[in-house]
Amino acid sequence: MKRLLAALALLIPLGAAGQYPSKPIRLVAPFAPGGTSEIVARSIAQELTTQLGQTVYVENKGGGAGTIAMSDVAKSPADGHHLIIGHIGSLAVNPFAMAKQPYDVNKDFVPVALLARVPNLFVVNAERVAAKDIKEFVALAKAKPGELNYGSAGNGSAGHLAFEYLKMVTSTDIVHVPYRGTGPQLQDLLGGRLDATSAGTPALLPHIKSGKLRAIAVGTLERIAALPDVPTAAEQLGLPDFETTQWYGIIAPAGTPREIVMKLNAEINKALRSSQVTQRYASDNLTISIGSPDDFAAFIRKEQERWEKVVKKAGMKIE
């Protein structure tokens, strides 16, 4: 009888996975509307809704450098119906920049799938700042220490990390102004209340094309097709290893059945190959990443090793 009960117990998760999803799936974007995380989330959610036959809806939940949203999802049922967009800040920076977090990113979550990598840009308000490239911007910052500022999507965001990295390698003093998401800080940058920012290409490109923002450098190691005339920060600064690239993936609460994780991974990879997602991501200069949950886990570990060194060397702290 004990053996029979044990065998039946093993079948329960499989049965649950077989019925998955049994209700709408919540996909949390841990920032305010208007940023790259929302663009990535909504594109994939729309395609998954079609594939799974259940609504996958995006819920924006900003604040606390992503910790508010991460805490919420960490405490949610581990049944595959509560997911969150994990990114460079929440998974590879916050664990080292924050003295205490209400969760452990490596223990309280399970990687599902890496979605995309996003080129970071350094831009300035075209009317407020005269610098035409990042070398001129650095020179201006050195001539006026503490007078220039930059906005970010919040403490621990990719833009915050990128600019602190720039400050570290150029020994410049530029004031950080954190916001609750890319959208709010872009409003102030466009309105002339900020000097500069670093963010993902999708959110910045329309404003660069309109002439309101000026791209002074690309954060990738190679120039990008959307802005072929804008040099990389690495080539301008003579630092071949200088790279600031955002990335986004989907993670779930720890304890989510492996069968559900694998099903989600397969459906996400299928969605990433769809014409709708590939075209949208290409138009926003996102590089699609397809792989297994284990591939994503290994990628996170590698990124943690890389950015832990930068965070500690820069003395970067998020309260």
The domain locations on the chain are 2-118+246-314, 119-237
Cis peptide before 95 (omega within 30 of 0): no
Range with top average pLDDT, 18-22, 203-207, 230-234, 239-243 = 230-234
Q: In sequence order, what DSSP letters do the residues of 246-309 get, joined into one string?
A: EEEEEEEETT--HHHHHHHHHHHHHHHHSHHHHHHHHHTTPEE----HHHHHHHHHHHHHHHHH
Q: How confident is the model at residue 17 (pLDDT cuts 50, 70, 90)?
A: low
Q: What's the pLDDT score for residue 4?
A: 45
pLDDT in tens, 241-289: 898 888 999 999 999 999 999 999 999 999 999 999 999 888 877 889 9
Instruction: Give the distance between the most distant pair of CA atoms in the chain.
Output: 80
pLDDT above 60 for 232: yes
* Helix 134-143 × helix 158-170 angle, to 10°: 70
Superfamily of domain 2-118+246-314: Bordetella uptake gene, domain 1 (3.40.190.150)
- Give the span between the Cα atoms of 265 and 290, in whole angstroms: 9
> What would the CATH number be for the domain defined by 119-237?
3.40.190.10
Output the pLDDT for position 316.
77
Average pLDDT score over residue span 151-178: 89
Please tell me if the domain spanning 2-118+246-314 has the same topology as the one spanning 119-237.
yes
Sign, Cα dihedral of 306, 308, 309, 315:
positive
What is this structure's pTM? 0.77
3-class state of residue 166 by DSSP: helix
